[in-house]
Structure 1
């Protein structure tokens, strides 16, 4: 690890935020510094800034401070009652020790787990633009299906960001000038285009201050299905997060997001529209799954993800709509 300066910010307008690399829990950043994928000259610790560690009500929703730990968020009684999807997604990721340190803001900003991004002996446009993409001619089992470019095929690894996208959450961002803006979680992320090193739309000095959860769909059934290589401590190969509102056997509202298949949490509005107003059935789900899954994978090693996403999508919809037994699954009802 290279030498670096360490400073503590005590307020959101601290000048150090503009010139340094922000650190909170550090569960991803410190790993990247150890292998010199990231080598910031200055780390700016934001854990002493007041007001970023609270979960408070905002109308019928919640305001989640950026420094709320994953453990605190997953265990919050209000989250478990109204947004169980979020709690389940967080608990599906990492270990208890990591969740105790990882923060809400940091989880959204974690970097890809593409092996070529971590291997400094290999070219990677996400590490250094213009170097090339070793994944294109190498092994690519963990790469994306959607939203890739000729410059980068990497997928975003977060479980929590997928759940927040399905729940229509927003990110609150504070600029160095003190202005606040809110954007949907999905709009936080940059498509790779010709600058895959830019993961997000954040500019120098921008600080994520909170995540805003809107009121859940009344009486909705929420679920998070994560398919991975082993039962715990593994990143998703494919994940599906959903919040479904039913009227009898008819689907009235559908909010869905897909993880580990794109450079950011993936959504498809046309797929959701195909479900709404329709009677839940295996035939419907099969037809909609065909519309969701791309005709081909951008890398031959992710061809299996097309089949896996289709099956995971159908299995999740069957459980969310009551066509399948939900006992022992990660499907839960919101408390009205």
Structure 2
């Protein structure tokens, strides 16, 4: 494909070459007619004589010989280290004695995906999935977040003054953010609760199910990790009462529940840590606006820039 400033497309090159070769135009006349240099007109005429229409395409600019190219043995060594240790160009360069940019080019040349696209446990490309309709699968997880004492924590007062807030005797403690996130729409429901015990998790599931139902979503399955609360009879009985099928991730595989894990990271970046708060109440009050913005107005890159609410059929107020 010609670059954006090229005076001739492949069609233009063919027309020029036919004027010279087939119609007998002088090269200079063809160059003036197509507003290119004499050298350019001559080149396309020669290629047309030698290769015909196929010669009008661009050729690779790679040289025929590359005496300075990294040897095949070093490239094989780099690829083996990548497979065995799953490390990036900087660490590969340190182990093989080449430049990081060279290691990066070797990986690119052999089609190696970036580490962010690999499962660190197996080294295989991450297989992303999305359920076909809302409610087919809801991801549930808990994020533990330190509470803020009145007057602010270390982000407001500094480390030296704010350090007593880490003391359990201060009574500040932790907030437990329970989240239910729909796999298809990414619509999220979050509650700030005092613990993550089995009765608390079961009560959260009942309220989350009712919240989704009010928006026309019937929860069919829930996916959780293997935390203690999700293995108890309380959780299983609640799922049974609600007509929900409980599922759990494989041990040591948090990627399976990655959508809600990623939501919690977004929640921390865009709400919990976005600015210093002077109290836990102030941060909690800010959450109501943030979760409404996330569900109804924030473009979500995981669903092609749509908002979660826009993927729910006939959801009230989804355009307000």
Per the shorter chain, which TM-score range? under 0.3
Larger helix share, 1 or 2: 2
TM-score (norm 2): 0.21
* Greater RCO (CA < 8 Å, at least 6 residues apart): 1
Larger strand share, 1 or 2: 1
